[in-house]
Amino acid sequence: MTTEPRPGTYRVCFVCSGNICRSPMAEVVLRARLDERGLGGRVAVDSAGTGDWHAGDPADARAWAALDEAGYAVGPDDHAARCFDPGWFGRYDLVVALDRGHERALRRLAPTAADAAKVRLLLAGPAHAGAPDVPDPYYGDDAGFAACLAIIEGGMPDVLEAIDRGLAGRVGPT
C-alpha cells in the first residue's frame, strides 16, 4: 500500500499488467529484503500495473497465499491495485518491469529520456539473460504462484544492487 515517504527516500515501483499478482509480490519481497538489510527507512517500495482493469482490487488471494506460505507477512487489506501514471516518473528513482512487455510500455510512457532510463527489468542481470520475463501466474494454479515467487526472489539481488548504486550516488543525508 502506498504511503508518503520522507524526503530523501529512494523510491522504487514494480510494474506488471494488472497489479494483483507479480508486482505486489515483488513489492512485498523487496520490502522484506530491505528490512533485513536495515534499509527499510531509506527506500520506499510501491507497485502498479500497466492496465487499469483491476484498479482498486486487492491482490490475488493466490499471490498472498504463496507469500504467506513462504513466510512473508501480508494481510488481506495490504494492497489495492492501481495503474501506473506517466506523471509518476518524477516520484520514482527506479521503475522495475516484471517482463519485457511492461518494460516497453513503460519506456513508451516515459515523458523524457531520463525517465525512460529509470526503467529496468526485474530479471535484468546476466544470470537471467535467457529468461528475462517473470511469467504471469494469473491463469494458472497455486503452484504457478509459488514458482513466480521463487523467480521474483531470484531477481532481488540485482534490484538491491541497483538500489545500493542509487543510494551511493545520493548527495547529502538520506
**In the chain, pLDDT over 90 holds for what percent of residues?**
86
Of these residues, 52, 57, 78, 136, which one is catalytic? 136
Of these residues, 22, 31, 33, 82, which one is catalytic? 22
For residue 19, is it within any domain? yes
For residue 141, is it within any domain? yes
For residue 69, is it within any domain? yes
Say how many domains are in the chain: 1
Between 7 and 59, the higher pLDDT residue: 59
pLDDT at 145: 98
Domain span holding position 25:
10-167
pLDDT at 174: 42
For residue 92, is it within any domain? yes
**Closest to 22 measured CA to CA, from 58, 44, 47, 57:** 47
136 as an active site residue: the answer is yes
pLDDT at 2: 47
Alpha-carbon distance of 158 to 121, in angstroms, equals: 10
For residue 136, is it within any domain? yes
**Closest to 155 measured CA to CA, from 25, 18, 21:** 25
pLDDT at 9: 94
What are the residues facing 16 on neighbouring strands? 49
The per-residue pLDDT for range 18-77, each reduced to its tens digit, is 999 999 999 999 999 999 999 999 999 999 999 999 999 999 999 999 999 999 999 878
52 as an active site residue: the answer is no
For residue 41, is it within any domain? yes
Torsion sign (Cα): 22, 140, 102, 159: positive
For residue 174, is it within any domain? no
* CATH number for the domain that contains residue 137: 3.40.50.2300
Identify the band that residue 5 occupies on the pLDDT scale cut at 50, 70 and 90. low
Specify whether the CB–CB gap between 22 and 16 falls below 8 A: yes
The per-residue pLDDT for range 161-173, each reduced to its tens digit, is 999 999 998 765 5
The per-residue pLDDT for range 80-91, each reduced to its tens digit, is 999 999 999 999
Of these residues, 13, 16, 21, 148, which one is catalytic? 16
